Chain A
């Protein structure tokens, strides 16, 4: 950056305004590209984990780019020209749309250069735009664009002039793709940075990911009757030709037909569009950076402070605190309920709010329910229709009475999700929690209460629903009994696992995997896998107590096995939770180290 800082400022003085704004000094552009190169290389080689990540990303993207490039090139060469033209429109407009949409979901396709950090240096807009555009060539995802554009040249090279027009058109397509993507990012920066939008998108993507299973079924059904020749009948060009990159496709197709002169105006339109978008992008970017986003808020806060200041001057002052009751009040053991102390209830209350307010936990809860209710349970129940009406006065729906026993499964699934890494899910807040003088048993009981209420409510709801649909009301107490027993066993295991194998839960950004763990290491992940298997093994007695009487047609045994199962679960939960609690304080610094970054 020294090169920039030391640049003689006089060079731009006296120049015309436009030149001052958009003039290019190639040594500046070169310095900026050097910066981008350094940042890119160091970004990928900063640590062993990043190197491994880079290698895997490269393998994936190169594979994807090669498949897309070869596939579309084959399409251009093998399909009839009208079908190939449709494919060209789809590819060029699809690329443009994808690159415009993905960054809005924080899939960082084009990082280019963060020009907001360059505003203090004497750089023209032209230099910023040029270096940003060229810098995108260093983005790893650009390989996909380049592969698809190269395939276009392979498929559309009827003559030398046609190749020239195609290359120019594709260069302009590239500029338009990158510019539109960056322009949208700059224009929507305020919305994209808003917490509510990000929260909403986290939940949206979790649901989207889960619903892919459903979408996949629809797509595969649609693909059964698809023939490549159908392309031409779709007449997509009617719509796609009016997209900015659709102009490029039109120019390429015209050049391929030998209408070189007719192709040139479309190149001109694209060039004009690219210039306009670059200028608008520069303007929006500069406006976004130089407009004091916080100015309004600052004014608002100042006015509030002013009002509050009056209140302080009015005598509240520090005396309000100094006059508070003494420390001896703390720890007096108030506000408890049954086996739950006041602090345990406070923790449960906090967790209950978090289940709804933390988008990541909400996404996990909602997607678990979504997955189980709409995907797994229908697959279990589907094709096993036993009877249309039941002696208990059922609604005549295709659900057998025994299927009530499956109804608590979603609740069990949610308990597994929330209880197995209870402290990891606390994330940074865990540091605050460990500052309070709360008995470890209260911490675990509070957290279990919150999970238990959510899972228990769901178990009751699902069991009653399935019982109503199948008319198997007599099975409800049995199903709920086993459901509660299983939930207790899972929560007990979860307490132990949370203390001994805490895992970091990374804050999910849009475009990343749900609950993606980071920095947990292979050993910890492996241990967590074993712990999960142990949990399933410990559920065997509960499952056996239900299944054996049913399979052996001795349902009268349930009178003994159901209470025995509940007793096993309660004793197991109590013993294991107390063991975990006895170790919690000892392991608190290690749990913090494992779960809270930079602690």
Chain B
């Protein structure tokens, strides 16, 4: 199967992309059981390659953790997967639908909690969720019912009629999550969902997410809180400098990193090559 990129990348990027190790042969791509798939996904900003030939498939019902150090290209990848940032090269599918060729069908299946919450902050929390429900073309009474249940579960009921601009960071995150859940998406993209969220809400959100995956929703989840990733995710991918350097279950990664029995944090640090002991900070001791 020939898969032409949307824009022809510069020669060096094309070479970098070609050099990327694709775990799937293009002919079999996207796999039929993949909820999310990307093939040679590349994004450049000027001469900087932010995402470099990423090829990956996430199966339906998986809770996929997408990890990497700051600047590794996680948010850029998610933006390309949800249709907010056009790839320099490569393709992306959500629910078997090409995100950039049939964006509306693809978006019907997804819910997104972006890293940067650019919400309609002059709507109240309740209005924002209802607005989202109406854009997914849900019946009005169903929108109202779901809105109230989401507000209650996410503990926003008391503040539902306040404008979003007056919300705290955590409340904004919760209201954005509620807007992403209103249509019961088949695929959920979450970029740092637990940042700025209190422990009680974190537990509630984690429970919601687990319920969703149990009922078949696929979650693509980016976070720096490795303990949460370890607790929730069924499979993990680690990116560094725009390239996928490891992918698999936690056990796979431990095996690969040679850190049998270690935590995800140990595996992660081992794979990305962190160094905390040789920084020349002896004077602190």
Is B270 among interface residues, defined by CB-CB distance under 8 A? no
Residue from B103, B112, B142 within 8 A of A329 (CB atoms): B142
Q: Cβ of A139 < 8 Å from any Cβ of B?
A: no
Chain A residues 435-451 with CB under 8 Å of chain B are: 435-439
**Distance between Cα atoms of A341 and B108 in the complex (Å):** 16
Are A435 and B120 in touch, CB under 8 angstroms?
no
Question: Which A residues are in CB contact (< 8 Å) with B152?
Answer: 308, 311, 316, 320
Interface string of A50-74 (1 = CB under 8 A from B): 0000000000000000000000000
Interface pair B214/A322, CB less than 8 Å apart: yes
Q: Is the CB of B134 within 8 A of A343?
A: yes
Contact A324–B131 (Cβ < 8 Å): no
Tell whether A435 pairs with B112 under 8 Å between CB atoms, given A308-B152, A326-B184, A327-B184: yes
B183 to chain A, nearest CB (A): 5
Contact A318 B109 (CB under 8 A): no
| Residues of chain A with a CB closer than 8 A to B120's CB | 350, 354, 429, 432
Do A439 and B153 contact each other (CB < 8 Å), given the known contacts A346-B134, A353-B127?
Answer: no
Interface pair B118/A321, CB less than 8 Å apart = no
Whether A333 is near chain B, meaning CB under 8 Å from some CB there, is yes
Is B34 at the interface (CB under 8 A from chain A)? Answer: no
* Interface 0/1 of B187-216, CB less than 8 Å to A: 000000000001011001001111110110
Residues in B whose Cβ lies below 8 Å from that of A311: 152-153, 155, 157
Surface stretch bound by B, among A373-381, A497-505, A585-593:
A585-593
In the complex, residue of chain A having the shortest beta-carbon distance to the beta carbon of B186: A327
- Give the shortest distance, in Å, between B98 (CB) and chain A (any CB): 12
B183 contact from A320, A330, A341, A599, Cβ within 8 A = A330
Question: In the complex, are the beta carbons of B104 and A439 less than 8 A apart?
Answer: yes
Residues of A within 8 A of B158 (CB): 304, 307-308
Closest Cβ of chain B to A296, distance in Å, is: 13
Once the chains bind, are B208 and A318 in contact (CB under 8 Å)? Answer: yes
What is the bound-complex CA distance between A434 and B215, given in angstroms?
A: 27
Binds A, one of B58-66, B80-88, B232-240: B80-88
Asked if A312 contacts B150 (CB within 8 A), the reply is no
Cβ of B165 within 8 Å of any chain A Cβ, yes or no, is yes
A596 at interface (Cβ–Cβ under 8 A)? Answer: yes
Cβ–Cβ contact A308 & B149, under 8 A: no
The CB with the most chain A CB atoms within 10 A, among B114, B132, B155, is that of B155
Taken together as a complex, chains A and B put the C-alpha atoms of A304 and B114 apart, in Å, by: 26
A552 within 8 A of B: no
Cα distance, A316 to B109, chains bound together (Å): 25
B24 at the binding interface (Cβ < 8 Å): no
**Given A330-B108, A588-B83: A320 touches B136 (CB 8 Å cut-off):** no
Given A430-B118, A585-B103, are A332 and B86 neighbors across the interface (CB < 8 Å)? no
In the complex, which range does the number of interface residues on chain B fall in?
A: 35 or more
Contact B200 A305 (CB under 8 A): yes
The docked-state distance in angstroms from the alpha carbon of A522 to that of B40 is: 36
Contact pick for B184, options A304, A319, A321, A349, CB 8 Å: A321
What is the interface size of chain A, counting residues whose CB is below 8 A from a CB of the partner?
A: 58
Nearest Cβ on chain B to A342's Cβ, whole angstroms: 5
Q: How far is the CB of B201 from chain A (nearest CB, A)?
A: 7
A322 in contact with B208 (CB, 8 Å) = yes
B107 within 8 A of A: yes
A319→B210 CA distance, assembly (Å): 10
A317 CB within 8 Å of chain B: yes
- Asked whether A321 and B134 contact (CB < 8 A) given A358-B122, A436-B107, A437-B104, the answer is no
CB under 8 Å from chain A, chain B span 92-119: 103-109, 112, 114, 116, 118-119
Task: Tell whether, in the assembled complex, residue A437 and residue B119 are in contact, meaning their CB atoms are under 8 Å apart.
Answer: no
Within 8 A of B (CB), among A320-374: 320-322, 324-327, 329-335, 341-343, 345-347, 349-350, 353-354, 357-358
Contact across chains for A436 and B135 when beta carbons are under 8 A apart? yes
Q: Is B121 an interface residue (CB 8 A)?
A: yes
Residues of A within 8 A of B127 (CB): 350, 353
- Chain A residue contacts of B163, Cβ below 8 A: 195, 357
Interchain CB contact under 8 A, B82 and A435:
yes
Chain B, residue nearest A345 (CB): B134
Q: Are B118 and A431 in contact (CB under 8 A)?
A: yes
Q: How far is the CA of A320 from the CA of B138 in the complex (A)?
A: 17
> How far is B154's CA from A309's CA once the two chains are assembled, in angstroms?
9
B194 → A minimal CB distance (Å): 15
Candidates B153, B159, B166; contact of A317 at CB < 8 Å: B153
User: Is B256's CB within 8 Å of the partner chain A?
Assistant: no
**A316-B153, A321-B181, A429-B120 are contacts. A589–B86 as well, Cβ < 8 Å?**
yes
Would A438 and B104 count as touching, CB distance under 8 A? yes
- Asked if A428 is at the interface (CB within 8 A of a chain B CB), the reply is yes
Q: Does A30 contact B (CB under 8 A)?
A: no
A330 touches B83 (CB 8 A): no
- Asked if A334 contacts B212 (CB within 8 A), the reply is no
Question: Closest CB-CB distance, B277 to chain A, in whole Å?
Answer: 25
Report A402-438 residues with CB < 8 Å from chain B CB: 428-432, 434-438
**Chain A residue contacts of B209, Cβ below 8 A:** 318
**Among A301, A325, A342, which residue has its beta carbon within 8 angstroms of that of B134?**
A342
Interchain CB contact under 8 A, A431 and B136? no
How many angstroms from the CA of A301 to the CA of B162 in the assembled complex?
13
B137 CB-CB contact with A under 8 Å: yes
* Given A432-B118, A432-B120, 20 additional A-B pairs, CB 8 A: A309-B155, A309-B200, A318-B204, A321-B208, A322-B214, A329-B142, A332-B137, A334-B140, A342-B137, A343-B137, A353-B127, A354-B122, A358-B122, A428-B119, A429-B121, A435-B107, A436-B132, A437-B105, A588-B103, A589-B86
* Pairs A–B under 8 Å by Cβ, sample size 21: A297-B168, A305-B155, A309-B200, A311-B153, A318-B153, A318-B207, A318-B209, A330-B108, A334-B139, A335-B139, A343-B135, A346-B135, A357-B123, A428-B121, A431-B84, A432-B120, A435-B107, A436-B136, A437-B104, A438-B104, A598-B116
